[in-house]
Structure 1
Amino acid sequence: MDKVYVEGMEFYGYHGVFAEENKLGQRFKVDLSASLDLSEAGKTDNIDATINYADLYHICRDVVEGKPVKLVETLAETITAKVLETFPNVSECKVKVIKPDPPIPGHYQSVAIEMTRTRQ
């Protein structure tokens, strides 16, 4: 299956279990891939036969910069669901939500959740 990738997106959100995270906010990074048949787009050079990268970016931005949630898992689930709902030609969506510098003891570069959802 062909894939469209949008990687390295960065947003500022107010998600987390700790009250400080909800008050101060923090950066989140998102990588996304969407699986779909791109053969017609490749043969016809027609944008309507694919999906627009900007639309995928806006879905991720709206979720991460939107209503605060406690879990990074909730962000990933919401993004994959919105991509599958918005684009009927996408058969699978994989998203990785990265939380740089998490507020937990120890030395961490980041923590992340990667989630894959397939159209039923």
Structure 2
Amino acid sequence: MDKMFIKGMKFYGYHGVFPEENKLGQKYYVDIELDMDLEQAAVTDDLNRTVNYVEIHALAKTIVEGPPYKLIEALTGHIATRVLEVYTMVNEVTVRVTKPNPPFDIHFDGVTVELRRKRDADGRTIPA
């Protein structure tokens, strides 16, 4: 299966369990990996035969900058589900969301959640 990677997207959101996180917000980094057949796009040089990564960016931005989630697991899952709902040519999606500055007195590069989802035979989104 062919892949498209959309890496290093940066957004500002208000997700978290603590009220300060919902009030102050922070940066989130999102990477999306799309598994799909890109043969026709490669042969025809036609944007209609692929997924427009600008649209994927806009979809992720709407979700991350939208209503808050308590957990980045839920945020990550919602992005993955929406990608599969909107882009039927995508067979499987992997979404990574990094919260670089959790509000704790610890020093590290953040926490990342990665979820992989695909469609089952009935078109439902399931873990890959």
TM-score normalised over the length of structure 2: 0.92
Q: Which residue of 1 aligns with 2:48?
A: 48
Contact in 2 for aligned 1:100/1:110 (Cα 8 Å): yes
Q: Residues 55-113 of structure 1: CA distance to partner in whole angstroms, max 9, x if unpaired?
A: 11011100000001100011111000000000111000000000011112321111010
**Alignment gaps of 5+ in structure 2:** 121-128
Residue 119 of structure 1: how far off its partner (Å): 1.1
2:89 is the counterpart of 1:80:
no
Report SS of the residue matched to 2:8: strand
Q: How many residues align?
A: 120
Q: Which residue of 1 aligns with 2:126?
A: none
Q: Which residue of 2 aligns with 1:95?
A: 95
Report SS of the residue matched to 2:56: helix
* Whole-angstrom CA distance in 1 between matches of 2:42 and 2:91: 18
Counterpart amino acid of 1:84? L
Report SS of the residue matched to 2:66: coil
Q: Report the aligned-residue RMSD.
A: 0.7
**Alignment gaps of 5+ in structure 1:** none
